[in-house]
Structure 1
Amino acid sequence: MADTTIYDMEQRGEFPQRFYLTPRCVVWDLAEVEAWLEERRRASRAKTVKRAPMPDVQLRKTRPIKHPARA
């Protein structure tokens, strides 16, 4: 996950809180992160995780450009 995603989730109480080892080094408790992962695994298997919708490609303003193979 991106740093900003983790930070936002921490602020909402959805991810374990970081703590400082040194003034410039943050870490997370491994047991807390593993418990969070197991909770997410159970939620995923139970299909209770709200997934993002599939993008509607018809709403695109531009189309990707296919570049010819480079030799």
Structure 2
Amino acid sequence: MPDMILRRPTVQLRTGLSRSAIYDAMAKGKFPKPIQIGTRAVGWAESEIEAWLEARKAARAA
């Protein structure tokens, strides 16, 4: 199955993060960088978001 590109509202729903929290974490290198999909459009690879969520779950368990 191909990796889907998720737009920001979907990323926000999946992660529970606000727009500003996503961009703040990206600036600190703690969140995946988006992929440019158009002149004024970005999206995130679904696999990278899922991996980020799994890492958060693993950190919680440790």
Determine if the TM-score, normalized by the shorter chain, exceeds 0.5: yes
1:57 corresponds to: none
Deviation, structure 1 residue 28: 0.6
1 CA distance for matches of 2:40 and 2:60?
A: 34
Give me the identity figure in percent. 39
User: Alpha-carbon deviation of 1:40?
Assistant: 0.3
- Indicate the residue corresponding to 1:12 in structure 2: 28
**Please, what is the CA RMSD of the aligned residues?**
0.9
The runs of 5 or more residues in structure 1 that have no matched partner are 47-71
Distance 2:39 2:20 in 1: 19
Looking at structure 2, the residues matched to 13 and 29 of structure 1 have their Cα atoms a distance apart, in angstroms, of: 16
In the TM superposition, residue 24 of structure 1 has moved relative to its aligned partner by: 1.8
TM-score, structure 1 length as denominator? Answer: 0.60
Q: CA–CA distance in 2 between the matches of 1:37 and 1:18?
A: 16
Measured against aligned partners, the alpha-carbon deviations of 1:11-56 in whole angstroms (never above 9, x if no partner) come to 111000012111121101111111111000011122xxxxxxxxxx
Q: Quick check: which has more Rg, 1 or 2?
A: 1
Larger proportion of helix? 2
What runs of 5+ residues in structure 2 fail to find an aligned partner?
1-16
Q: Residue type of the partner of 2:49?
A: V
